[in-house]
Amino acid sequence: MVDVFDLVIFGGTGDLSRKKLLPALYAGYVAGRISSKSRIFLTSRSAQDVAMEEWLREVFAATTPACGIDAISIREFANMVEVVELGLTEGGEQWETLQAKLSETKSTSVVHFLAIPPSLFTSTCSLLAEYGLNGSNARVVLEKPLGNNLETAQAINADVGKFFGEDQTFRIDHYLGKEAVQNLLALRFSNIMFEELWSARTIDHIQITIAEDLGVQGRAGFYEGTGAMRDMVQNHLLQLLCLVAMEPPARLDADSIRDEKLKVLKSLRPLEGDLIDRNVVRAQYGAGAMHGEAVKGYADDLELEEPSNTETFVAIKAHIENWRWAGVPFYLRTGKRLPERFAEIVIQFKEVPHSPHPDWKGGINPNRFIIRLQPEDHLALRMMVKNHGAKSETLREVEMNLDVMGNSGTRLGPYLRLILDAVKGDQSLFVHRDEVEHAWRWVDRIINHWQEKGQAPKSYQAGTWGPYEAHDLMVRDRREWFHETVGK
């Protein structure tokens, strides 16, 4: 259990808080990770007229199976939560009330979680400072997207930096809180056999996919004008790429990890001009069918009157220019309304240089190491073995599954893990401002190129694996997306 804390969720009755933060905190309470003396304040523009327990039941109905809610724990949890009416652009009585509540604290840390649009980050941090709520025990958690491009991200970082030190600033990327991502670090840096093989000498290429079956319903205000590049590539996909590609840090502490990730971002080959046209695919879903049911296209989902240029799918072939990765392509891909929801990293090794089975015509598949992040955590190694009982030259591919989950107790969801890390002041799974800015530098070039060319995204049918061009990105390199072929 972590020490008693106070958590203020700005935008506390909003989407992120209802869908992710409150369910995660409740799960943490039920699992005994959070003390009942901790307090959770939800800021809202208007007061709440429903009793907290009743409101929480409604909130959890959408996210937590009914069997996961029990009458006693929800009552106890409701006692820890309070809605505070608060405007985020001007100080006044409401801020004095919050200040008074927080001054009664018995906690060792106060975490301000900004689950609000980035346009409100500066005024909120400035008010927190004006009311003395940025002391050394205070931390601020910034939810993505951090800006809309390099310039706005730098402005936010500079503004927040006036009121909170870098050691108090926690830029969240919830993908870093996923269990399998922790495992990737453990696996890479605690096993000599992986590290020895982890380079251009033995690896042919790496694929990182985050596929979603959902569309963008209900997120009109946010998604239109943001698109998959800003929503998923700038943060989640590039962070996963950093963890796969980084050099072993001297220690697994925040500074060491973040320094190594930054070096990867700095080594990404900049994509410009024709290189973008050849190596980046951008597309938007049209009407189609999901799990046997007809679904609308993007523009109809958002009830747009004009056609939109916002992409819901991106595939990229990227390179990291350093000794370890010279010549190894990293294929990144993300999209909405794809046939299923999964996220995985596939490390594909090189083919054997020579086959000692001249009579075997079935081919020898290259080894593949698969790190599945969701829907379930899963590590698997695909390798060739002799076909049982058959002649020695008959081969087949098998999958060796590593039981990484074992029975090692309660698993923390990503948001709970990261909130508890923020309470403890541990920044290892949070993103440094330099990383955010370097990631923007790389994606900005691509977005600016698209804007200059005024190019509309390609189209793909909902329920398919994206446009033909994404398939072609691989095929022309004589490769294929693992999940569409072998990994089903």
Residue ranges binding ligand BG6 (CB under 6 A): 174, 212, 231, 343
To the nearest whole angstrom, how small is the minimum distance from the Cβ of residue 232 to ligand BG6?
Answer: 6
To the nearest whole angstrom, how small is the minimum distance from the Cβ of residue 393 to ligand BG6?
Answer: 43
Beta carbons of 1 and 105 less than 8 angstroms apart: no
Cβ closer to ligand BG6: 325 or 465?
A: 465
DSSP alpha helices (H): ranges in 280-333? 298-301
> Is 205 one of the annotated active-site residues of the chain?
no
174, 205, 236, 449: which is the annotated catalytic residue? 236
Residue whose token pair is 């410009």: 272
- Position with the least CB separation from ligand BG6: 231
Cβ closer to ligand BG6: 132 or 375?
A: 375
Beta carbons of 257 and 427 less than 8 angstroms apart: no
To the nearest whole angstrom, how small is the minimum distance from the Cβ of residue 212 to ligand BG6?
Answer: 5
Lookup: tokens for 212 = 């979603």
Cβ closer to ligand BG6: 231 or 344?
A: 231
Integer Cα distance of 404 and 401 in angstroms = 9
Cβ closer to ligand BG6: 84 or 142?
A: 142
112: which strand partners?
8, 140
Residues 6+ apart with CB under 8 A from 314: 228, 229, 232, 233, 280, 281, 282, 283, 332, 333, 334, 335
Q: What's the length of the chain? A: 488
To the nearest whole angstrom, how small is the minimum distance from the Cβ of residue 343 to ligand BG6?
Answer: 6
The amino acid at 35: S
Cβ closer to ligand BG6: 231 or 301?
A: 231
What is 396-431 written as a DSSP string?
EEEEEEE--STT-SPPPPHHHHHHHHHHHT--TTSB
Lookup: tokens for 473 = 């990105």
Which strands sit side by side in the sheet containing 5-10, from one edge to the other? 81-85, 39-44, 5-10, 109-114, 138-142, 169-171
To the nearest whole angstrom, how small is the minimum distance from the Cβ of residue 33 to ligand BG6?
Answer: 20
- Catalytic sites, residue numbers: 236
